[in-house]
Amino acid sequence: MKKFTVLMCALAVCLLAACSPEAPAAATTSRNPQTPPAEADLSEEAKAPPAPPEPEKSPEDAAKEAGAYEVGQIMVLMYHGLEDADAPSNSYRRTLKDFRADLRTLYDEGYRTLSMSDYISDNITTPAGKTPVVLTFDDGLPSCLTLEKGTDGSLAPKADCAVGIMNEFYEAHPDFGRNAIFYVNAHPFDEGAGTSADGLRYLAENGYEIGNHTFNHDQLDKLSREKLLAEITDVEKLVREALPDYKMTSLSYPFGIRPKEDLRGLIEKGEYDGVSYEYRAAVRVGDSGTASAPNRKDFDPMNLPRVRASDDDPAGTDLGGMFRRFREHPEYRYISDGDPATVALPEEFADNLDEASLGGKTAVLYTAN
């Protein structure tokens, strides 16, 4: 009887279990089981509309932001030789230390080099907010360029000549540019390895320019027509022997003295002994001052003033004086808008603009304040 009772209890338990509801299955997600949650979230974000592009600045706003004044003053710097020792007062020579300091100050104060050919052709590609500066070297002296032979036999500038120093500075500051023009006489760069022709070829092949300083450096107002033509074309022959396809585009007046008035047209173009030439600019020598922008009313490319690279002139017309002047009066200084197709300036200085010089460029006038 006891066994029967236990059996009946076990049977009751089994019947209860069989009649109880089934346990719920594991919960499932409503997402596509092949799409991870993170990807699903990203797909939702991708449906959001893109942010609207920033509005393009008008030429006037861009010029105002840069502080552009593209009819301002430009320094055409004049160097001759470099030397180790301190240069005597009022000298045309600059020490190596001072030349390196000149490059550093120019860079730090927002100047960027411009080639003479770009300057006189009004192709100023200086970045926005910066000021172009043109570097010139007269007389073709060894301290401007002396080549030495490397272990592989190639020719390169010595480290302590002007070209070597500029190359070194350019490597450290490529945005400064590497532009300069060398006005040569007879027998340029005649020390060190290689020949004068090698020096001329090095300049042309490495982005520098060559200009005419006349063959014998004679005082041009004392010369006859024939002698003047010979002085100019003899340098043309010298350069073409080294670089047959090279075209010089400017001349530096020896002693800063121009020819007699009736012969001045021969500086622009002429022909003698089967050699023809045509120049678009000529530069002065001496304590003169800054040059004008190509689109300014008083721009005279055949009589361009230069700034002597020194800092000892009481009148303040040299480089040291010009640095001080532009710090005190930045409104005089050429400031680029960064667009070579426009000439930008504040409306208040519109009278300085030579509209006839614009060619295909567009004048951009803006309200400075």
From residue 45, alpha-carbon distances to 30, 33, 52, 54, 177 in Å are 19, 20, 16, 21, 46
Kindly give, in sequence order, each residue whose CB lies less than 8 Å from that of residue 140, ignoring residues fewer than 6 positions away: 182, 183, 184, 185, 187, 188, 189, 196, 199, 213
Q: What is the DSSP string of 140-160?
A: T-TTT--EEE-TTS-EEE-TT
Total Cβ atoms within 10 A of residue 20: 7
| Cβ pair 316, 87 in contact under 8 A | no
Measured in residues, the chain has a length of: 369
Beta strand segments in 111-222, E: 111-113, 131-138, 147-149, 155-157, 181-184, 209-212
Domain 74-315: which CATH class?
alpha beta
pLDDT of residue 55: 78
Return the C-alpha torsion angle 131, 132, 133, 135, nearest 10.
Answer: 160
pLDDT of residue 224: 98
From residue 252, alpha-carbon distances to 80, 197, 236, 257, 258 in Å are 12, 20, 14, 9, 10
Q: Helices 225-242 and 196-205 meet at what angle, rounded to 10?
A: 70
From residue 332, alpha-carbon distances to 78, 119, 130 in Å are 20, 18, 13
Give the separation between CA 76 and CA 121, rounded to whole angstroms.
Answer: 15
Report the predicted TM-score, pTM, of the whole model to 2 decimal places: 0.85
pLDDT in tens, the chain (369 residues): 444 344 344 444 444 444 444 444 444 444 444 545 555 455 555 566 777 777 788 999 999 999 999 999 999 999 999 998 776 655 688 999 999 999 999 999 999 999 999 999 999 999 999 999 999 999 999 999 999 999 899 999 999 999 999 999 999 999 999 999 999 999 999 999 999 999 999 999 999 999 999 999 999 999 999 999 999 999 999 999 999 999 999 999 999 999 999 999 999 999 999 999 999 999 998 667 899 999 999 999 999 999 999 988 888 899 999 999 999 999 999 999 999 999 999 999 999 999 999 999 999 999 998
- In the chain, count of helices (H) and strands (E)? 10, 17
Total Cβ atoms within 10 A of residue 255: 13
What are the residue boundaries of the structural domains of the chain, listed by start?
74-315
Total Cβ atoms within 10 A of residue 329: 10
Q: Which tokens sit at 238?
A: 């010298």
Residue 323 corresponds to which amino acid? Answer: F
Q: Is 183 exposed, middle or buried (0-12, 13-18, 19+ CB in 10 A)?
A: buried
Q: Which tokens sit at 160?
A: 């302590």
pLDDT of residue 359: 95
Q: Which tokens sit at 155?
A: 């020719």
Angle at 98 between CA 328 and CA 327, to 5 degrees: 5
Give the separation between CA 88 and CA 157, rounded to whole angstroms.
Answer: 26
| Cβ pair 363, 355 in contact under 8 A | yes
Q: Which tokens sit at 278?
A: 């045509």
Q: Which tokens sit at 221?
A: 């107002």
